[in-house]
Amino acid sequence: MSNPNPEKKSKCTINLLISAAQAAYRVRKDNAINPNDDPSNPELLANITNHGYEVVKSIAPVKSEGSGPSPLAAVCLKPQDLEKPMVISFRGTKAMGDVFSDLRLVAGGTVEKKFRDAAFEFYQQVRKENPNREIIITGHSLGGHLAQYVATKAYNTDTKLQTKPLVQVRTFNTAPADTIHNAVFNKFPQLLAQFVNYRLSPDAVSSLPLQKYTGNTFIFPSNKGTLNSHKLGTMKEQLPVEILNQEVTTHYDTAKKQTMLVELVKGVASSYQCRVEGQLFSRFRAGAKNVAEMQKAFPEIIKSIEKGQYNEAVFKIEALQGKLSGNISKKLTDILMQKTIETKVSQQMQKAETPKISLIEQQQQMKAELLKMKEEPFVEKKPELNNTDEALTKPSVSLS
């Protein structure tokens, strides 16, 4: 399929999505973002424009001089390149004092009904205007909670989305969401891969117990303290450049799976490192040695994936696994190998000019491919695993 807008270059990155989440805070009078309302507004709007996007729809509550009938504030970004996804962003806590509202939300897992209904109605308006477009929903803190809720309800109530997932979620330091619509994941667990939460390790809201996050959670270090680490500005400052520049999705299925795989590898690497560094005597634990091996291996693994050299990537992951110790490390690398093989098989299926096969046949093909690759000789011999990092009782990143 050719690009109907070859001269338009739009890019949906983590950087753009953070800006979209920030934009939802800036909507005020007349449901618009006034460049003069905040000294940083011109830079924010310029960043959105530089990514090839523009704000095409926004709403603010009456107390912010908007016309919204509920406390909801939201924006919708449209790309110049029509093959790139639409972006919806919901506003989170307006002030640091409101963080305590999010802490109550963590315990309960839900917000008031009119808030949720208004957010879902905003999504439905965008979906009605763009029935076949991919939509990425984002938000920070409470806004992230709404993003998870809206996407989960969309998947649970729209049967077309269950077989053609056109909604993705990327949230930042989000409050968790617990809803009856989570039942959709019991029947379609593969949809969980569409949800990713980025959080900074000291954040007060997303690091509390009783977490009920949907999909994957990737953790990144921050030296800004508990409350400051909750801010979106701190998120943008603390995330590595390669994460900020990570493209979230593309129109083509194979490329989409490839970018999601690269995002997964990067998220696992940082999350494992944060887990180890948060432990007592971390320098003396086997986990610290695992981190060092991962830091050496992951850049080369990512290069192989980006080149589409999936066999090579699997062998590199397998070689890395042989240098790691502990059950958690093995589980993480097993998942990365599985996801890499799934991406390879998906690419092969898309290239083949054959009728679509059933989900069961796809799974059988993936298992056969894994067995075949396991049987191929590999030069490097694996050392025997031990349990020296047994204290890592569960991974710091939720992998689905």
| Bridge partners (DSSP) listed for residue 216 | 196
Write down the mean pLDDT value for the chain. 80
Greater confidence (8 vs 66) lies with: 66
Query: Is the same domain home to 79 and 216?
Result: yes
Alpha-carbon distance of 103 to 98, in angstroms, equals 9
Is the Cα torsion angle 7, 241, 146, 167 positive or negative in sign? positive
How far is 174 from 207, CA to CA, in rounded Å?
9
Q: Is the pLDDT of residue 138 over 70?
A: yes
Report the C-alpha gap between 19 and 28 in whole angstroms: 16
pLDDT score for 382? 43
Asked if residue 218 and residue 85 are part of one domain, the reply reads yes
The structural domain count of the chain equals 2
E strand or H helix that includes residue 167: strand 167-172
pLDDT at 348: 76
Give the least confident one: 141-150, 303-312, 387-396. Answer: 387-396
Query: Exposed, middle or buried: residue 282 (CB in 10 Å: 0-12, 13-18, 19+)?
Result: middle
Average pLDDT over residues 299-319: 92
Within the chain, where are the H helices?
14-26, 41-50, 99-108, 113-129, 142-157, 159-163, 184-187, 232-238, 241-244, 253-277, 286-306, 310-323, 327-351, 359-375
Residue 108 has pLDDT above 70, yes or no: no
Asked if pLDDT for residue 220 goes beyond 70, the answer is: yes
Residues 110, 103: Cα–Cα separation, whole Å: 11
Comparing C-alpha atoms, which of 86, 291, 103 is closest to residue 111? 103
Supply the CATH number for residue 40's domain: 3.40.50.1820
Give a yes or no: residue 1 inside a domain: no
In this structure, is residue 224 part of a structural domain?
Answer: yes
Average pLDDT over residues 362-389: 52
Reported pTM: 0.79
CA 384 to chain centre: 34
Does residue 179 sit in the same domain as residue 90? yes
- 231 with 285, same domain: the answer is no
Q: What are phi and psi of 40, to 5 degrees?
A: -90, -5
Closest by CA to 329, choosing from 289, 281, 378, 375, is 289
Same-domain status, 336 and 213: no
Phi, psi angles (nearest 5°) of residue 398? -80, 120
Domain span at residue 229?
14-251
**Residue 391: inside a domain, yes or no?**
no
Between residues 113 and 117, which one has the greater pLDDT?
A: 117
Residue 360 confidence (pLDDT): 55
pLDDT of residue 69: 72
Q: Do residues 242 and 143 both lie within one domain?
A: yes
Alpha-carbon torsion 133, 126, 79, 174, what sign?
negative
A 10 A CB-CB count for 150 gives 28
Supply φ then ψ for residue 188, to 5 degrees. Answer: -130, 70
Task: Supply the pLDDT for residue 249.
Answer: 76
Amino acid at 157: T
- Give 392's pLDDT tier (boundaries 50, 70, 90): very low
Angle formed at CA 16 by CA 13 and CA 21, multiple of 5 degrees:
130
- 143-202 pLDDT per residue, tens: 998 999 999 999 999 999 998 999 999 999 887 777 889 999 999 998 998 999 998 887
pLDDT on residue 50: 97
pLDDT tens sequence across 250-285? 655 667 788 888 998 888 888 887 766 554 333 445
For residue 344, the model assigns a pLDDT of 86
Of 218, 251, 284, the position where a domain reaches its end is 251
pLDDT for res 362: 59
Residue 277 is assigned to a structural domain of this protein: yes
**What's the CA gap between 55 and 268, in Å, rounded?**
32
Q: Does residue 399 form part of some domain?
A: no
Mean pLDDT of 98-105: 51
Q: Higher confidence at residue 374 or residue 195? A: 195
Q: Coil, strand or helix: which one is 357?
A: coil
For residue 390, the model assigns a pLDDT of 36
Neighbours of 230 (CB within 10 A): 28
Asked whether residue 7 is assigned to any structural domain, the reply reads no
**What is the pLDDT at residue 245?**
93
CB 140 within 8 A of CB 173: yes
Q: Is residue 88 part of a domain?
A: yes
Identity (one letter) of the amino acid at 228?
A: N
Q: What is the pLDDT of residues 340-373, one digit of tens each?
A: 988 888 777 766 644 455 555 655 666 666 666 6
The pLDDT of residue 396: 41
Verify that 91 and 213 share a domain, yes or no. Answer: yes
**What are 68's strand-pairing partners?**
61
Q: Is residue 126 in some structural domain? A: yes
Confidence of residue 68 (pLDDT cuts 50, 70, 90): confident
